[in-house]
Amino acid sequence: MSTFKAPKGTYDLTPPDSAIYLAVREAIAAPLKRSGYGYIETPGFEQVELFSRGVGESTDIVSKEMYTLTTRGGDELALRPEGTASVLRAALEANLHKAGNLPVKLWYSGSYYRYERPQAGRYRHFSQVGAEAIGTEDPALDAELIILAVDAYRSLGLKDFRLLLNSLGDKECRPAYREALQGFLRGLDLDEDTRRRIEINPLRVLDDKREAVQKQLVGAPMLRDHLCEACKAYHEEVRALLTAAGVAFVDDEKLVRGLDYYTRTTFEFVHGGLGSQSAVGGGGRYDGLSEMIGGPALPSVGWALGVDRTVLALKAEGIELDLPAATRVYAVPLGEEARKVVFGLVTELRRAGVATDFAFGGKGLKNAMKSANRSGARFALVAGERDLAEGVVQLKDLESGEQTGVALDAVVRELLAKQG
Ligand code: HAM
């Protein structure tokens, strides 16, 4: 071990487990790639103000959890705590919304940073795959995104997840509801912090996990009863489209989410095997965000799925992904002359598409065969001077133990054929 450790709240991805993370990212991205979403990558840091304006000054993410820094040049930057504000900023900067083809559909995959209290499933560095559809107000777009997330989870074999769905209303109906809720909340027996929250973001109080608070919330006005006709109709259509697609959901009128930009559709995917950090993904519509960060009106919707928690969910359900073996063939030369020929064969096999590794470091046969077994390879390709003089290599099936001589010029063909 070195003197150093991964910083608190972070962990390294190392083989073989790292392959699961790659596979999860690919599985989440696959439905997006076949649905018109283009790949976008943005910097790991942005101006602090993008997040304080976009995600919201009063949210935990901005007020308590951002990693901020001042550069030598005096710029105030923050490591990105989430992807939506960055992606929208980038889309506006590149004028993607002016190319005449709305919605602009984008997907991304990367690292995010939140200074949270670390616990199982909650880290200070974590990874998300996300999708944003920018510039169109259409319930079918909300439904599309939700269906694509469900398809991603299903393709991984996950079963024990639920979709929680809510509507947060819009700028027509939410202000009046906010006032009604504030009126109700001000009459309750709550601590200082919560009383402050009533004035800044009363909807967040509904989300308070403490039992003493939840008890008092019985009878609180619910947004569902205050939605304007347009929001109601919009929400009904999202629900109907999901039902038609065979996607089950739970109406959760208390689902608020921890970011301020949401309007109308909001949703969260929760998994039954994860304890308190049960949200494996979440998202919603953010019709006002573009204007909040200085852009034109661009109604948009998106989600981000947590890769770390999806991997935990797979473990909780005992799902082992069917990952291709990192190494198919392990090549073992016996002697200096054989080394050159076998190394050449390794390159040939790799170029032909056969995952091949080589016994580096001049290992003896016994050690090399141990390495072959540990590598997970199906075949060991062994050749000494005598084999090569006869123009063959020995191919050992490490599962059956069977060994056959194969002509040098047939090795690539033979192994490709065995790959199917
Ligand atoms: P979020 O709900 O903050 O939404 O994060 C999405 C997912 O990221 C969570 O459901 C969770 O799986 C994962 N996640 C968040 N924080 C942590 C953490 N500290 N440790 C491990 N996993 C974590 C957003 O970030 C929005 N940008 C989603 C969105 C996209 N809304 C519209 N478009």
Tens of pLDDT, residue by residue over 258-298, are 888 999 999 999 999 999 999 999 999 999 999 999 999 99
Nearest-atom number in ligand 1 for the CA of 303 is 30
Decide: helix, strand or coil at residue 137: coil
Strands 76-79 and 45-47: antiparallel
Annotated binding-site residue? 351: no
Going by C-alpha positions, the residue among 165, 164, 144 that lies closest to residue 31 is 144
Using most ligand atoms within 8 A of CB, pick from 116, 308, 309, 310 the residue to mutate for ligand 1.
309
Q: Distance from the CA of 359 to the center of ligand 1, in angstroms?
A: 43
Distance of CA 254 to the CA centre of its chain: 24
Annotated binding-site residue? 130: no
pLDDT of residue 59: 86
Residue 283 contacts residue 145 (beta carbons within 8 Å): yes
- The residues, any chain, with a CB within 8 Å of residue 317's CB and separated by 6 or more, are 157, 158, 159, 160, 273
Using most ligand atoms within 8 A of CB, pick from 46, 55, 126, 132 the residue to mutate for ligand 1.
126
Which residue puts its alpha carbon closest to atom 9 of ligand 1? 281
Q: Distance from the CA of 293 to the center of ligand 1, in angstroms?
A: 20
Annotated binding-site residue? 285: no
State the distance between the two ends of the chain, measured CA to CA, in whole angstroms.
42
Annotated binding-site residue? 262: yes
Alpha-carbon distance 223 to 333, whole Å?
72
Annotated binding-site residue? 309: no
Pocket of ligand 1 (CB under 6 A): 82-84, 114, 116, 122-123, 126, 128, 130, 132, 258-259, 279-284, 286, 302-304, 306, 308-309
Using most ligand atoms within 8 A of CB, pick from 13, 37, 55, 82 the residue to mutate for ligand 1.
82
Take residue 371 and report the two structure tokens written for it.
Answer: 């390495």
Alpha-carbon distance 401 to 118, whole Å?
48
Beta strand ranges found along 80-196 (DSSP E): 104-113, 125-134, 161-167
Nearest-atom number in ligand 1 for the CA of 85 is 27
In the block, which residue shows the tokens 């019709």? 287
Domains and CATH numbers, the chain: 17-173+227-316 (3.30.930.10), 329-419 (3.40.50.800)
Annotated binding-site residue? 128: yes
Nearest-atom number in ligand 1 for the CA of 279 is 10
Annotated binding-site residue? 394: no
Annotated binding-site residue? 123: no
Nearest-atom number in ligand 1 for the CA of 310 is 12
Q: Distance from the CA of 258 to the center of ligand 1, in angstroms?
A: 9
Q: Distance from the CA of 407 to the center of ligand 1, in angstroms?
A: 55
Q: Distance from the CA of 133 to the center of ligand 1, in angstroms?
A: 17
The reported pTM is 0.94
Neighbours of 310 (CB within 10 A): 29
Helices 192-200, 174-186: inter-axial angle, 10-degree rounding: 160
Which residue puts its alpha carbon closest to atom 16 of ligand 1? 122
Below-50 pLDDT ranges, the chain: none
Annotated binding-site residue? 54: no
pLDDT of residue 58: 80
Dihedral of the alpha carbons of 110, 116, 117, 122, in degrees to the nearest 10: -30
Q: Distance from the CA of 380 to the center of ligand 1, in angstroms?
A: 44
Q: Please list the alpha-helical segments (H only) found in 163-210.
A: 174-186, 192-200, 202-206
